[in-house]
A and B are shown apart, each in its own frame.
Chain A
Amino acid sequence: MDAESQRVLDYLSEVEEAAEDVLTAKQQIVDLDSKRNRNREALNALKNELSDSEKVKVCFGNMFIKFPKSKTREMIQRDQEQLDKEINDLRKGLKAKVNRLNEMQGKPELRGYSLSPLSTNEVKAINSLLKR
């Protein structure tokens, strides 16, 4: 293989790698969100299912363990916070990854997505301008 085609191949594999990076991050967000939703269902179940017993059966891996209600709730809530944080971080990183991919492909950078968002009050104030 001559130098020219080697260069093209290198470039293409680099682009592929960047694209793969973006897709992985996206998939990870999806997985984490599905976990978050399952946790949310569990929290609702803990709140609403009116069983009198103090303990509930929790599945760890492939084993069911009887665990006190309040402890379980606390545990899931901690997990939930952790998940929220992770998803946020991934989303932040995703922007940088998409920008890198765009740059490699010679596409213009996404404009303005690095801005921090307006607060709800501010959005309300200029809503009429935005909904056109």
Chain B
Amino acid sequence: MAATKVPEVRDITRIERIGAHSHIRGLGLDDALEPRQVSQGMVGQLASRRAAGIILEMIKDGHIAGRAVLIAGQPGTGKTAIAMGIAQSLGPDTPFTALAGSEIFSLEMSKTEALSQAFRKAIGVRIKEETEIIEGEVVEIQIDRPATGTGAKVGKLTLKTTEMETIYDLGNKMIDSLSKEKVQAGDVITIDKATGKISKLGRSFTRARDYDAMGAQTQFVQCPEGELQKRKEVVHTVSLHEIDVINSRTQGFLALFSGDTGEIKSEVREQINAKVCEWREEGKAEIIPGVLFIDEVHMLDMECFSFLNRALESDLSPVLIMATNRGITRIRGTNYQSPHGIPIDLLDRLLIITTSPYTEKETRQILKIRCEEEDVELSEEAHTVLTRIGMETSLRYAIQLISTAGLVCRKRKGTEVQVEDIKRVYSLFLDEARSSQYMKEYQDSFLFNETQTPSMDTS
């Protein structure tokens, strides 16, 4: 006998990872698109939030497609937060794809292929499926088998809803599938009219008895209401990329889950585009242009930028949102300097939103929100100290101190993070400025030191 593996049952307290932007729930705008100072996890950046809100409304109404937005600003000024806010406010119906600029560099796939897949993931197609079904509770099944044992069986099936009851004559095929599904009186079933497929929904409540011996998996359902012959309409939203994938491989949709989609031939894409456009003209499909967000867009190189230029012009194009923290810098893959590391011709097509550094008050607010998110209690003085640290070093460093200080506090069995806890983690973990200071002092004792390197070449 084969040894059956008994699954180990363990209660695991679910540990939720807390992301850097997990506190963002929207853009924090009121109905008139005016930004509130503190709302939905967003603090400050009023002008850029309002700008993002206008773009968001246009996306929702479907006014813009094939446009691009650039969010530019210093590190730690909430660029990704704004993009997350847009994603959250779009709701589940609009596709939102996020990727980082460096994700497209892979050995398995060309850069442009990765980009076009991302583009197509951000375009949704809404389609409708319609089926005629007969749904009812089985009152009685009567099957007459011929006395000889062979030959056509005939039978009658009585179905009812709360409103009506009727008798169906059964043919050989239906009798077979009914007995295969082990349908008996008291079951609630649906019959697909086009295919004749029978599915059992459960047993009717009215037939439930204490002494009925039945499996634990038996489900009890209400007797269906209304007419017997119903029409079921289901609306689905799928992305263009998903349609590409099932059509590009013989193994079909399995490729979606193994993650190995590989490159998709451009002919396949063209066919899909043609089919989808045909559906749209016949009124069978609606195109939902979604949002593609590329973080750290300066990591893209010249080829990608010219691809983007071209891709934005196609009629099936999503709204492209990019974020960068670079100033005037070299465009990757060239020797030319350009603002944000993006070629001028692409910059010309962008709507640019800028973010500005947070003020002390805003920093304080953000730290407070993060404390709530990370479930750390902060005393008033500690909060002030942390705000100062955030202003003098960086907001990110201060946010990182929250969880570490929380741990130190728990270690000494305190309930509220005090100034001492902050001091302790401040001495344990260096910020960027102190770390470079340390390097300058002791770099002679490090290996491979090159004193003459002027600055980091970021491209």
A interface, CB within 8 angstroms of B: 26, 29-30, 32-34, 36-38, 40-41, 44, 48, 91, 111-113, 115-118, 120, 122-123, 125-126, 128-130
When distances are taken between beta carbons in the complex, the residues of chain A under 8 Å from B243 are 126, 129
Indicate if the CB atoms of B246 and A34 lie closer than 8 Å. Answer: no
Q: A116-B128, A126-B243 are in contact. Are A33 and B227 (CB under 8 A)?
A: yes
Number of B residues with CB within 8 Å of any CB on chain A = 34
- State the CA gap A68–B94 with chains docked (Å): 61
Question: CB < 8 Å: which of B126, B127, B226, B246 contacts A26?
Answer: B226
Q: How far is the CA of A128 from the CA of B128 in the complex (A)?
A: 15
Q: From known contacts A48-B169, A129-B253, infer whether A34 and B227 are also in contact, taking CB-CB under 8 Å.
A: yes
* Residue B30 CB within 8 A of the other chain: no
Q: In the complex, A33 Cα to B193 Cα: how many Å?
A: 15
Interface assignment of B194: CB less than 8 Å from any CB of chain A: yes
Residue of A nearest to B128 (CB): A115
Nearest-Cβ distance from residue A118 to partner chain B, whole angstroms = 6
Contact of B127 among A30, A33, A34, A115 (CB under 8 A): A115
Residues of B within 8 A of A41 (CB): 166-167
29 contacting pairs across A/B (C-beta < 8 A): A29-B226, A30-B226, A30-B227, A34-B163, A34-B166, A34-B227, A36-B229, A37-B229, A38-B166, A41-B166, A111-B93, A111-B126, A112-B128, A113-B233, A113-B235, A115-B128, A115-B286, A116-B282, A116-B284, A117-B128, A117-B233, A118-B128, A118-B279, A122-B284, A126-B238, A128-B252, A129-B243, A130-B234, A130-B236
Which B residues are within 8 Å of any A CB, using their own CB?
93, 126-130, 163-164, 166-167, 169, 194, 226-229, 231, 233-238, 242-243, 246, 252-253, 279, 282-286
List 10 additional contacts besides A111-B235, A125-B246; criterion CB under 8 Å: A30-B226, A37-B166, A115-B285, A115-B286, A117-B128, A118-B129, A123-B129, A126-B127, A129-B243, A130-B234
Q: What is the CB-to-nearest-CB distance from A87 to chain B, in angstroms, rounded to a whole number?
A: 8
Nearest chain-B residue to A110 (Cβ)? B235
